[in-house]
Amino acid sequence: MNAPVFGSFTLLHLLLAVAGIVVAGYVLSALGRLFSGRKQDAHVQAARCSACGWQGRVSRLAGRCPRCNAPLGDRAARP
């Protein structure tokens, strides 16, 4: 038995609306960090290839120069 709050607007709808607002706020906050902050750089490092001189940003997981495929080393660019 559904207990109507306002006509067909039930408690379930209210919960869904609140959940939607929370999710929307979370997504907007995540997008804000993505475009304004540098927190997303956790898996990206600035690197310079000692073999060919390439400089740029590369994934820590890849660890290889995109130009000559030489191993860049994960520890070189860490602070």
Interacting residues toward Zn ion by CB under 5 A: 49, 51-52, 54, 65, 67-68, 70
Nearest-angstrom CA–CA distance, 2 and 69: 63
Q: How many CB atoms lie within 10 A of CB 45?
A: 19
Ordered DSSP codes for 39-65: GGGGGEEEEE-TTT--EEEEETTT-B-
- Closer Cβ to Zn ion, 10 or 66, answer by number: 66
CB of 66 to Zn ion, least distance (A): 8
Give least dist CB 47 to Zn ion, A.
9
For Zn ion, give the closer residue by CB, 49 or 58.
Answer: 49
- In the complex, the smallest distance separating the C-beta of residue 65 from Zn ion, rounded to whole angstroms, is 3
Two structure tokens written together for 17: 């609306």
Taking the least distance from each CB to Zn ion, the nearer of 4 and 71 is: 71
